Structure 1
């Protein structure tokens, strides 16, 4: 069941088209993330849902109600901003109570609801403090509490963690996800952080150049990217030229492999193969058909739980590999030779071009 429906949303600023025919259904109670680089249209779309930007055409529904022409204060959505947006002259309690006061909720109910939400976001003991007495993470919790206390049908979050340090981001995103599930509130979340999107979302929409490039589960977005842009933007990939032969085979890194049917059908045009670094075997035998090449280690980075390797393969450029570290492989120095293996089943094929479609 959909809670938010976006139908053919378009938005332009002069000659610049920010949103191009956006059609998205967001499920009731789901955590839905708009992911993409700066300028892709994700914040414009979020603000269109909020009512801060009016779309040029198309319809926005929350439940069965069209809200696309309503002013922002009539849409019953909560908003959490990137820059906290707390009122510096109001206490934590009064910041959180602000929306309820505007709705003319009786004072006794305001006190009860604010106290309850402050306890939920672990700020009950800070109710009388002023914003300048809080850390960045605490200020963001105030913004979250203020959005939740009005009991909106939809919660909108515009890169709420981007101003926080790395550890606090991880801690707070865990809290946001827990609160979202606890309240069961439909949430639309904007970020450019791929790991963040994959970690906390039920569904991810990857945006680029004003288009929704792919909507799917984090697993599908990562493992079955719809096109080359999604494969490039979400995680890392090794892209390799592919020569498709007339005999139904293809050539990858100098090795012949059976060409998948979609690749054979695409034989008249160029395509590329892609493999994730974690799928590249280092000094290991393959379990089935695939490619094995030797290369020279150019760079090695040990990050604790993983080892990142950049290996130069003569005639084919460099390949990145990601492997579980052990003492022996960590000890290998740049300039030494390694064997790399790629299972045929781990390779995806894309049509050429920035948004070339997935062929397999």
Structure 2
């Protein structure tokens, strides 16, 4: 009570006096009225655990600075339609919200935001308006490998909720095409398109039809562009976010635009990239070489070729690099690894 921290649980609540920090845990229909009685005009932070029930009146929370939805199940794209109204927001986490496919363009209104974590969602493409967020320090997106699925680094303590798995509805399974995005040929395209068409026609369950619609209409076109579920496509102009310290995981398979933008981010300490191949690998290494403050680097490539022959180019290792993670078929370690004098962590996966 001294900290002005209100909470709403499954069976109880405390909402006396001014509430500046609000925690909501598994609120059902019985406690929906309790939320309506809470004075939200002074709320600075909201943390939601469990299932999303859309019981909050966002119009009253004009002073909100921290919005933590990590691990919240049932959150949909339309639930974020008003996010651009929180003009004082500094921290937004949608980590692990697997039903989120898009970020609204109104995100560009959040001029004060410093931390944006959308990792573990189904977002493959970031909106152009994200380039307006000049104060952004931490931007994390893309899917998280299970052994890396810990809470946001240096931002909050880990919790069991951060490791929640979003299981498919009933027995519905989405075909695992994403991992084969690098090898996506016309044969796979034809087979997947037919599969989606037939399944959508024969599916009665509304939720199942919605999932297949998302997969066939949203994910499939992005996969064909060379994108995968481990990274996101960055919009042109991302290099304007000069205060970024952490950036990842970004897909570089769609062109050289992101690499030219990357060279402008001189304050980067942590960087994660995916979509590396033989065509772009030399440019990727050249861009990384210009990031003198980089402490942590993660490189990933999917498919059978993977990173084989991609990291053998001449590369001057970064003097401050301490952590290097490599995901994908590598076969032979690049010779420049032996020259990284301050390396304390080397992680190899599927190499």
Normalising by structure 1, what TM-score?
A: 0.29
Larger relative strand fraction: 1
Report the TM-score, using the length of structure 2 for normalisation.
Answer: 0.29
Of structures 1 and 2, the one scoring higher in RCO (CA 8 A, sep 6+) is 1
Larger radius of gyration: 1
